[in-house]
Structure 1
Amino acid sequence: MEVTEVSYRIIADLLEARTGQQLTEGRRWRIGTALSGIFRERGITNIDQLVCLLADNSNGLLAQDVVEALLNNETYFYRDRIMFELLSQRVLPDLAAKRAETKRLSIWSAGCSTGQEALTLAMLFADNPSLWKGWTIDIVGTDISQKAINAAQRGCYTQFEIQRGLGVTQMLRHFNETQRGWEPSADLRKMVRFKQRNILEPAGNIQRFDLVLCRNVLLYFDTARRSLAFDRIAEAMRDDGWLMIGAGETAVGRTELFQSVERHQGLYQRAPASLMSETGENGAYPARRKHAG
């Protein structure tokens, strides 16, 4: 479906205004496919007609539907399995030692989409019961898409979705087949909760996390918003916590708040210099600098 330059710019501006994400030229080809469902539901025949309807301020729901459709909610269980092996072998043992006294861990899955990443994290704990016996594990999945969060909260996956990344043994161990579809076990559900949130929003009084996963999210932001996202993540982390981003993303040269972990692509910890300059004696963060966007 042909997209004129004017229509492309209007739709791209709408997405950026609502989410902070950029609809780059490289993603322009997705517009027609992503919006095809809206066209069928509303009897719209082309992009220009859609843009005219968006210009009507009374169509706020249409604008929200367009934004939701353009968001990339691609996900599956154990996506980039090597990254979860890294968590199991390096990060979680470190946190188990650091938090041995409290036996509590808080984890943030930012850009969690329909919940598979958060549930994969829960499986890492469920598969090692001897290490995590008596622990309180709190995994919070957030996403800017309310539609994706609604699906994550329902926690019901099709045969196709459940087979993406999971072997038969894992399916049967951690999920129950029902008339609605495959649902996570009670052991997984008690560790995971979901809520709608934009990662660019201030952290406020939210809990501080021991581990943050923000994979394949930052690549959709421009330089200023990417820097702001790193700020928000740092605000929400404990000083000795861990950050994991996507294999195709980097914090090097993008922020001074994090330093890479040698020989482990995508894995970061807070930079000591940033801790000294950004926290007072009581460890509290002062007001942060403002960013464009």
Structure 2
Amino acid sequence: MIEVSEASHQIIADLLEARTGQHLTESRRWRVNSALAGIFRAHGISNVDQLVCLLAAPPGGPETPDLSQEVVEALLNNETYFFRDKPTFDQLPGEILPEIAHRRRDMRRLSIWSAGCSTGQEVYSLAMLFNEQAERWQGWTIDILGTDVSHRAINAARSGCYSQFEVQRGLGVTQMLRHFDETARGWQVREDVRCKVRFHQHNILGAFPGRMPFDLVLCRNVLLYFDRQVRTQAFARLSSAVMPDGFLMLGAGETAVGQTDRFVPSARRASFFEPAGQAAALQKIA
């Protein structure tokens, strides 16, 4: 493995943090060279030190305008799959969505935000849930928004086209045939699923440009890449994005406990959290 000079490592780490808020910890440093291998080949270089020289090139030099974004996107972890962490995901149709539906029974409108949606599998999984309970949600307006800091990931999500390997991760044969069409390019999400979703490039730490707040926000396996200070900022953004009687869903290995006072655990529901003020109000009622 080619060693990366400390100065070059710090420049790459600072770039990633400035663009995304993610902290490049020592435990992630080992994958820098492998993550950037495609960029090395594309630009005819062999190591991070040379890449940093390209990034620092003066105007008119060899740097391409999008090189810094290429570097950032290469370092992002876009690991995802359909119905990820199924025991946790199964709580949505079983408990969470019916409870939200009861609270929105007069409006008959439900909005969901998947923050850090990567290449879209989580968003389409949500849309499939509603299609599989079509009778239950007849007459409802369902709006599912997926956002990610990666432009490349969002483009992939918008295409709604996945490889055989990707659709086999989390989906059974019946679901594949029900919700996808096999094409020459791969497995294409059907229109009755796609019509419920939309995608937007967005950094969770930035001001949100769309309609807020949401009944349910999923932010899974995103916060773990932030240091404590940035994680606090992220929880503040998420707090403003969730309805007072809504829910926040985190990853299986994540928690809001000890991280923020804006959310508290939802009773008996692993990985789900509620705005602290609403939870306190419900306890008084009870």
Comparing 104-113 with 205-214, greater Cα deviation is found at: 205-214
- Give the corresponding residue for 1:51: 52
Q: What TM-score does the superposition give when structure 1 sets the normalisation length?
A: 0.91
- Residue 77 (structure 2) pairs with residue 76 (structure 1): no
- Residue 31 (structure 2) pairs with residue 26 (structure 1): no
Q: What TM-score does the superposition give when structure 2 sets the normalisation length?
A: 0.93
The residue identity in structure 2 corresponding to 1:21 is Q
Structure-2 change in CA distance of 1:273 and 1:80 (3 Å): closer
Q: 1:273 deviation in Å?
A: 7.2
- Residue 104 (structure 2) pairs with residue 99 (structure 1): yes
Provide the C-alpha distance between the structure 2 equivalents of 1:269 and 1:259, rounded to a whole number of angstroms: 5
Q: 1:236 deviation in Å?
A: 1.3
Provide the C-alpha distance between the structure 1 equivalents of 2:160 and 2:273, rounded to a whole number of angstroms: 30
Equivalent residues in 2 for 1:59-138, closer than 5 Å: 59=63, 60-138=65-143
The residue identity in structure 2 corresponding to 1:130 is E
Provide the C-alpha distance between the structure 2 equivalents of 1:173 and 1:150, rounded to a whole number of angstroms: 24
**Which residue of 138, 144, 148 corresponds with 1:139?**
144
Provide the C-alpha distance between the structure 1 equivalents of 2:255 and 2:139, rounded to a whole number of angstroms: 35
Equivalent residues in 2 for 1:2-21, closer than 5 Å: 2-21=3-22
What per-residue deviation string (whole Å, max 9, x for no partner) do you get for residues 191-248 of structure 1? 0000000000123663210000000000111111111111111111111000000111
Provide the C-alpha distance between the structure 2 equivalents of 1:143 and 1:82, rounded to a whole number of angstroms: 24
On the 8 A contact 2:264/2:279 being kept in 1, the answer is no
- Residue 171 (structure 2) pairs with residue 170 (structure 1): no
Equivalent residues in 2 for 1:275-290, closer than 5 Å: none
The residue identity in structure 1 corresponding to 2:203 is N
On the 8 A contact 2:114/2:122 being kept in 1, the answer is yes
- Give the corresponding residue for 1:188: 193
- Residue 239 (structure 2) pairs with residue 238 (structure 1): no
- Residue 159 (structure 2) pairs with residue 158 (structure 1): no
The residue identity in structure 1 corresponding to 2:33 is G
Q: 1:153 deviation in Å?
A: 0.7
Kindly report structure 1 stretches of 4+ aligned residues shifted beyond 6 Å.
Answer: 273-276
Provide the C-alpha distance between the structure 2 equivalents of 1:54 and 1:140, rounded to a whole number of angstroms: 33
What SS class does the counterpart of residue 207 from structure 1 fall into? coil
What SS class does the counterpart of residue 119 from structure 2 fall into? coil
What SS class does the counterpart of residue 245 from structure 2 fall into? strand
On the 8 A contact 1:239/1:275 being kept in 2, the answer is no
What SS class does the counterpart of residue 211 from structure 2 fall into? coil
The residue identity in structure 1 corresponding to 2:45 is I
Q: 1:264 deviation in Å?
A: 2.2
On the 8 A contact 2:217/2:242 being kept in 1, the answer is yes
On the 8 A contact 1:105/1:137 being kept in 2, the answer is yes
Provide the C-alpha distance between the structure 2 equivalents of 1:204 and 1:13, rounded to a whole number of angstroms: 25
Provide the C-alpha distance between the structure 2 equivalents of 1:158 and 1:204, rounded to a whole number of angstroms: 32
Query: Once the two structures are aligned, what percentage of the paired residues are identical?
Result: 60
On the 8 A contact 1:107/1:140 being kept in 2, the answer is yes
On the 8 A contact 1:256/1:274 being kept in 2, the answer is no
- Give the corresponding residue for 2:284: none
On the 8 A contact 1:203/1:235 being kept in 2, the answer is no
What per-residue deviation string (whole Å, max 9, x for no partner) do you get for residues 270-293 of structure 1? 1127999xxxxxxxxxxxxxxxxx
Q: 1:265 deviation in Å?
A: 2.3
What SS class does the counterpart of residue 272 from structure 2 fall into? strand
- Residue 43 (structure 2) pairs with residue 42 (structure 1): yes
Provide the C-alpha distance between the structure 1 equivalents of 2:278 and 2:123, rounded to a whole number of angstroms: 31
Instruction: Output the aligned Cα RMSD.
Output: 1.5
What SS class does the counterpart of residue 271 from structure 2 fall into? strand
Provide the C-alpha distance between the structure 1 equivalents of 2:109 and 2:58, rounded to a whole number of angstroms: 48
Provide the C-alpha distance between the structure 2 equivalents of 1:273 and 1:170, rounded to a whole number of angstroms: 36
- Residue 255 (structure 2) pairs with residue 250 (structure 1): yes
- Residue 207 (structure 2) pairs with residue 207 (structure 1): no
Aligned length: 276
Which residues of structure 1 form unaligned runs of 5+? 277-293
